[in-house]
Structure 1
């Protein structure tokens, strides 16, 4: 296998790759057929459209040239080049073989063969072939070699090869886009943004760079901001498959399902066997509740998406819906193995294992999530049920108590079973590996060494300034240390590179805890303007709408969520109850409060909502019982005490009312202070 230095020796004689310019040089060869002029014209059109980025048209013109002269080797070579631009390695290899059979000099095509092997997933063969390329085509060969190194996991080697190459040929747009992709895949998002931007500036017809820019902008600014980049690529080639797939995915996440379906159909027109397009259509069908259609579409993907996280998640869901619990468990177990921090996958796998009777297996899977301070009530309830199955009712009770609690501490990283010595050794064995650094960081947090953990996180951010995870690690440590303003600043560094849901939630939480609610609201509003279908963002927006007294707006937000996620979410129904009561519709508010209480009778928030709804309807006696229960479960929650205090006051229990209102006012985070102070004057 050629090392990066070998590839750079190839680059030492950089002339021109076998791209459009080099192929034009081959046009001195003339077809032998009588319709040589027609074939030559078609091939010239192919080369011209290839240069402008219309790869599909270039392919069609090359095919026309071959139809006019089937034995013209150059035409087959040009057609192969268009197939490579379209990502079809098998088609390219076949055309290169035809070109060789027709007399085309195979020495001129080794870089194309190398690219074809790479697209077929044979990185080793691509590297071997790239090492045999003639010096005049070494630029292309170096690029293929670098991408082959990345495909084998050698991201540092791939980056170095491309950086060295660009020091010799800094105006090579294709090499810049290759560097951007390698950096993106290795987690250096900031570096990827720089490289992709440079690539598009050098060549606006670089479809790979335009598509990459769309992917990067999607993470950096949001879904809506990314769409014009994909559209720019499709404006040059309406059937460019990679852009169509990313475009369709982004449209779907933005809630534009009709446009998403249209984009997938165009992708299938461009590539009839497109597994990605069938997968996206399956996602669309599953979202609409048509699981039979979704299963049929997933079957059409064959084995092309085996092992991919999204396909495993959806495939397991479809198996589970049809009663194939073992198949679902196998898929989700593989997904958790590939993405051990995927909380959604762990929840699904834990629930499936519990249903299959493997309570201990469910506990093993859910433990890393349940041990987090911010564990959700559903996961905690699953763990409690699993402990019940194993006969450990004392532990079941503890987790049921946690599941019922309305407020949770801030998020912390996953725990780890490895010792600090082991984790430190792993980090020291490969100090340039950010993943191992972060794992070691988690070990330090679990051991309580926050100062050292912060120092490690800051060192990681200096080592990998373009990696959002590094800045998030710094912010997380500062949050643990309650340095909220500093944490918000660290999270902003991450958001400058990738502004996704986890980053948004961290910034909003840090700003809110630091007392900057208006700034936090602006961050949330910006995120939702780009990601209008985001559930976590909409939940938070609705909660703040209720807090601000914007009840009609909250109802609109929450009802939209209810239509999407159903009627089994107690927290959502609780918020709807508060919103309707605040808007003056006590009857609807009471119905939602009852439904929420039936789902979670031990949750103080749902209990309070039911009691508050009864209180608003004038049923003070029943209301007080529920409000007292809520306070008994969560006595430190100021809003629960405030509600109970108001009910006591109306019943003439002045001393009890004063005690509850004073307790609410003692909490500095309690916001309804003016009304509480006014009530105290009347008691």
Structure 2
């Protein structure tokens, strides 16, 4: 449903146009004085606002403009939705002799465009209008009321306009727009039909008819009306945007792009156009490119709800969960039935350590009659994050039953559920049961690489490294270049402390898939452990360049920078890691060391004390931190003594310098006195 309000007068006059530049040499050749009002009107009617404004400005500089010229400029600026420029033009019209009656309606519109609703309302209240102006005033007051969120008041003014001039389509159109914006489509359609019967062809009427048809599901009819709206006015941005949305919903991306191209030709920097381009990129699976476009729209992602939703989804796909969360929350408030947004928000909360809140958001999807397998798995993850293994397994078993009961369920989904159920048994300490379940899944699935990979992971975690190697090699036998298998073999070699062997397998995994973040992360850890800090730094940076928010990677990269003696960069990444995992004593300790390395000993001591409290159960860590704190406090004390000694030295030097200067000054004074005494009385001037 539409989520922006469109004032009637602005929609009728404000079919957005874009002004470009013009060549200054060409201007010098034009005889601007030769243009009369009819010439300027012809330009305006043809949509060449830039040329019309150029002529009016030139004639103003030549002091041959009159009030009609400035009122024309006012209408152009109002059409361009530039309230400030319109207000300036109105002031010039006044200076040229325009009366308050001449400018009141236009000034009201200009003020409304600037959000000065009360000022605009006061002008309209305190002015007596007749004829067309009275009709226009009713419409404008309806627009203002709608912008202020006073729908009932807006209805009264639009109805008054329709009563004042029942034969004029604009009063009925105002009501149609109002009800369209409020989602009351049937009522909106009645008024739109009336408006259409009163005028043969109007771009805004066609737009409204098209928008209503779109949201009522009459797709082909909507297209016909909206295309007509763009034909009637080539700069009808409203109709273009409805068409673009309609085509995207129908998967007609080429048709949507064609309309977007038309918009960009008119307004190259249109935030709405950029939003739709970003939406198309997101649908095409290009979240990074979509994010770039959405960021270019500035505040638009916060003020336009569909853009906020898209940005939340894009940030989620990029793994930027803290960025995505507020956008998803805002979108869900406006559209509680938006299941994909709800599930993304739940996963963000779980990943960011807020599983209890995640479960609250899940409640509408996991009731007793629910068949939502994905929601059940999200619930299992949230309970798992809280360490509630019984509830975790219960939801996985429930999801498994629902999936198996549905004949249309993809066999791969059932297989994945079996894997998760096995994993839940493994986490609960039922390792043998979990492993046998996975072995059974593999037998059922033939070449099921995922089950084998999970089985190898479980064997590795269970300490059966030789069994894990055998299982991982079975994956290699199925697919010799499988990056998952080589990543697993690398992890097994790392567990065996064979770092060179681990790195060799990680290299193979990355050669097979250069974007395989798990292998990059694991290889970085192997480099870090083996003292190859520069290589570790490069791998961790490569992982973060993909846009993921991974606290472990930030922490390990911080450690790599520490080992390389770069305290500032170490602190930057460790602070990001601490923000995501604030309860980690190790991260807090490394951050303390980074602060000390950067020369901030006082802050380092405070941070180390925080780390000590977090790790108070780890005796070795506490002893290590106590040594660091004692060392840094001693260094701080010595630094203070040295600083005080340096200050005292400078004070002594300054005092000595002042004493020398005073002696020199006194010597000059004394020398002058001696000369006075040596003068003879007769040499002194007589008074």
Taking structure 1 as the reference length, the TM-score comes to 0.52
The CA distance in 2 between the partners of 1:131 and 1:305, in whole Å, is: 36
Higher RCO (C-alpha under 8 Å, 6+ residues apart): 1
Distance change in 2, residues 1:160/1:397 (3 Å): farther
* Contact 1:307–1:335 (CA under 8 A) maintained in structure 2: no
1:178 Cα offset (Å): 1.0
Q: Is the 8 A contact 1:305 1:311 kept in 2?
A: yes
* TM-align CA RMSD: 3.4
- Identify which of 207, 218, 222 aligns with 1:222: 218
The 3 A distance-change label for structure 1 pair 390 and 337 is same
- Report the alpha carbon displacement of residue 222 of structure 1 after superposing the two structures with TM: 3.0
Contact 2:71–2:93 under 8 Å retained in 1 = yes
Distance 1:73-1:337 versus aligned 2 partners, 3 A rule = same
Maintained 8 Å contact 1:240/1:270: no
Question: How far did residue 288 of structure 1 move?
Answer: 2.0
Give the whole-Å Cα distance in 2 for the aligned partners of 1:214 and 1:372.
42
Instruction: Select the residue among 364, 367, 370 that pairs with 2:366.
Output: 370
Of the three residues 134, 147, 166, the one matched with 1:170 is 166
CA distance in structure 2 between the partners assigned to 1:209 and 1:373 by the alignment: 46
Offset, 1:179:
0.7
Is residue 39 from structure 1 mapped to residue 36 from structure 2 by the alignment?
A: yes
Aligned equivalents of 1:241, 1:19: Cα separation in 2: 12
Partner of 2:35, secondary structure, is helix
- In the alignment, the residues of structure 1 paired with residue 34 and residue 211 of structure 2 have an alpha-carbon distance, to the nearest angstrom, of 43
- 2:72 match: 78
- Alignment pair present for 1:301 and 2:297: yes
| 1:325 alignment partner in structure 2 | 321
Q: 1:597 to 1:341 in 2, by over 3 A?
A: closer
Query: Which of 591, 596, 599 is the aligned partner of 2:416?
Result: 599
SS in 2 for 1:600: helix
1:108 has 2:102 as partner: yes
CA contact (8 A) 1:268 1:277 kept: yes
Report how far residue 46 of structure 1 moved. Answer: 4.8
- After superposition, where does 1:208-219 map in structure 2 within 5 Å? 208-219=204-215
For residues 101 and 257 of structure 1, what CA distance do their matches in structure 2 show?
52
When residues 75 and 249 of structure 1 are mapped into structure 2, their CA distance, relative to the original with a 3 A threshold, is: farther
SS in structure 1 at match of 2:158: helix
Report if aligned partners of 2:371, 2:402 keep a CA contact under 8 Å in 1.
Answer: no
TM-score w.r.t. structure 2 length? 0.52
* 2:287 pairs with 1:276: no
Q: Which 5+ residue runs of structure 2 have no aligned equivalent?
A: 1-11, 15-29, 422-442, 446-687
Aligned partners of 1:375, 1:103: CA distance in 2, in Å?
73
Residues matched between the structures, number: 392
Task: Provide the C-alpha distance between the structure 2 equivalents of 1:85 and 1:375, rounded to a whole number of angstroms.
Answer: 52
- 2:497 matched residue in structure 1: none
Are the counterparts in 1 of residues 71 and 89 from structure 2 also a CA contact under 8 Å?
yes
> Counterpart in 1 of 2:670?
none
Structure 2 CA distance for aligned equivalents of residues 242 and 305 of structure 1: 18
Q: Decide whether aligned partners of structure 1 residues 19 and 402 sit closer, same or farther in structure 2, where only a CA change above 3 A counts.
A: closer
* Aligned counterpart in structure 2 of residue 313 of structure 1, from 300, 309, 317: 309
Tell whether the 8 Å contact from 1:319 to 1:328 is kept in structure 2 after alignment.
Answer: yes
Q: Answer yes or no: is the 8 Å Cα contact 1:282–1:293 preserved in 2.
A: yes
Gaps spanning 5+ residues in structure 1: where?
1-17, 21-32, 409-569, 578-591, 605-620, 624-683
Alignment check: 8 A CA contact 2:383 2:391 kept:
yes
After TM superposition, the structure 1 = structure 2 runs for residues 143-542 of structure 1, keeping only pairs within 5 Å, are 143-371=139-367, 373-374=369-370, 376-406=372-402
Q: Give the aligned partner of residue 119 of structure 2.
A: 125
Q: In structure 1, what is the Cα distance between the partners aligned to 2:94 and 2:289?
A: 45
Give the Cα separation in 1 of the matches to 2:119 and 2:371.
Answer: 47
Answer yes or no: is the 8 Å Cα contact 1:224–1:254 preserved in 2: no
Counterpart in 1 of 2:52?
62
Q: CA deviation at 1:277?
A: 0.7
Structure 1 residues 108 and 374 mapped into 2: Cα distance closer, same or farther (>3 Å)?
A: farther
Distance (whole Å) between structure 2 residues aligned to residue 150 and residue 378 of structure 1:
41
TM-aligned CA distance change 1:19 to 1:254, over 3 Å? closer
